[in-house]
Amino acid sequence: MERKEQNDLEDKRNIDLSLGAIAQNWIQNFLKQIAERLEKMEEVLVVDRIEGDIAVCENRKTGKMQNINIKDLPENIEEGNILRWQNGKYEIDTSQEINDRIEQKMKDVWK
């Protein structure tokens, strides 16, 4: 094989390896984003209080507090609202099951 053909083959192999690394990196980033979104979708937050432009929320699963800018939440947000991540934004969860559990816990506190 001529020297030029060898160089061309070597260049092609290097390009293939580079493209493989780029594809692998893209796939890893894509999977990471999906995992983060799935985790966020399962997240249930309770608005503990509102301080100026910030809603201080408690993650029901972990108990950790997190601050969310009011502009990223529904306009009618109030303390005690339950939030879920749906369709790329936080929405107030009005499902009766959650409300019933909260009501029961409040009753248990006063017993």
Whether 21 has a pLDDT exceeding 80, the answer reads no
Instruction: Tell me the CB-side half-sphere exposure of residue 103, using CA atoms within 13 A.
Output: 6
> What pLDDT score was predicted for residue 111?
67
- Give the pLDDT score at 68: 96
Largest CA distance in the chain: 90
pTM score above 0.75? no
Side-chain-side CA neighbours of residue 37 (13 Å): 10
Question: What tokens were used for 92?
Answer: 């107030």
What does the CA dihedral 61, 66, 72, 74 come to, rounded to 10 degrees?
50
Q: What pLDDT, in 10s, does the model give residues 22-49?
A: 878 888 888 888 777 666 667 889 999 9
Vertex 100, ends 94 and 101: CA angle to 5°?
Answer: 110
